[in-house]
Amino acid sequence: MEEKDTNKTSQNILNEDAPAYGFAHKSEDEKLRENIYRSDKEKLLVFTKMLRLNAMLKKAVITHKS
């Protein structure tokens, strides 16, 4: 009987949704709605961070090993 009880709890654990960490689970619209209420300084900092990230990614060279 103990096997059945353990099986039920493991099934419940497997059916649970994984916790969402950070902003990965948010859509673009949700991110924009949150950012609307930031101060001007925070918006500027986020924007400059985005520009630096974009510049870094443009310089990246991706090679594939065959």
Using pLDDT thresholds of 50, 70 and 90, give the confidence band for residue 11: low
- Which residue range is the domain that position 66 belongs to? 23-66
CB 23 within 8 A of CB 31: yes
Q: Domain for residue 11, yes or no?
A: no
CB 35 within 8 A of CB 46: yes
Q: Domain for residue 29, yes or no?
A: yes
Q: Domain for residue 64, yes or no?
A: yes
Give the mean pLDDT of the chain.
78
Q: Domain for residue 55, yes or no?
A: yes
pLDDT at 9 over 70: no
What backbone torsions phi and psi does residue 55 show, to the nearest 5 degrees? -65, -40
Q: Please indicate, yes or no, whether the overall pTM of this predicted structure exceeds 0.85.
A: no
pLDDT average, residue stretch 2-31: 65
Number of domains in the chain: 1
Q: Domain for residue 17, yes or no?
A: no
pLDDT at 36 over 70: yes
pLDDT at 8 over 60: no
SS3 of residue 15 by DSSP: helix
Q: What sign for the dihedral angle of Cα 28, 29, 31, 36?
A: positive
Q: Domain for residue 6, yes or no?
A: no
**What pLDDT score was predicted for residue 58?**
93
